[in-house]
Amino acid sequence: MTELERIAIVTGASRGLGLVIARVLAARGYSLVAGGRDRDALDAAADLLSRHAPAVATVAGDITDAQVRANLIDAARQLGGLDVLVNNASELGPMGPLLSFDVPRLGRLFPVNVGAPLFLMQLAAPLLGARRGLIVNITSDAATAAYPGWGPYGATKAALELLTRTLASELADQGVSAVLVDPGDLRTRMHQEAFPGEDISDRPLPEVTEPFWNWLFDQDPEYVRGKRFSAQEKNARWLQPA
């Protein structure tokens, strides 16, 4: 298999971290399936990615929509298969103390941040198994630290972490690897939503994570299976405790 034949799906690829990951993959010769809710932003991202990627397919829509997920997998199949699935799309949800949290809102957060990635992993597993592929699930330090106000979002990421580690074990005999990546605090729209009205210009842009992504995609998926990484650390410190 040549480098030009490699194919990746990146959800939430129209801006921010997802676009940075997609750009790294494009520069490495991957054909891409880019997903996102905003059609205009997705089209603009596709124009940028097409400068390097051999092929770019876009799928616009909400990741909780079963047809959108099916379209992502079908697009990869039409390109020739799947080597990497990046579950980056997620939703912050309302911030605030747990005692005043509108509990029914969990009915939105868990389907976006946990259910949709699991559905996609189920759909993608046969294609990934054929190429001994890699699943990358984007997590957060909110999954492991009790930050006041971040409880519901952190709970979804904690659930995703457990599912990822479990799947990494369950899929080993199929040749599919799965990893977790905490990108750290970044100057993105989602992070700004967490701090409305505050200046977050001290946070680095998502491009700060590019060295990590290039390192990760250089690795044998077998070597990284089930591990958790911090994308803003350096070299050996990228690997985090499970």
Catalytic residues: 153
Strand 7-10 and strand 84-87: the pairing is parallel
Rounded Cα distance between 21 and 13, Å, is 8
- The region that residue 125 occupies, defined by phi over 0 for left and psi between -120 and 50 for alpha, beta otherwise, is alpha
Rounded Cα distance between 104 and 117, Å, is 20
Rounded Cα distance between 72 and 88, Å, is 14
Q: Is the dihedral of CA 176, 182, 187, 191 positive or negative?
A: positive
Backbone angles phi, psi at 164, to 5 degrees: -65, -45
Token duo for residue 80: 């020739």
Question: Taking a C-beta distance cutoff of 8 angstroms, is the pair 145, 198 a contact?
Answer: no
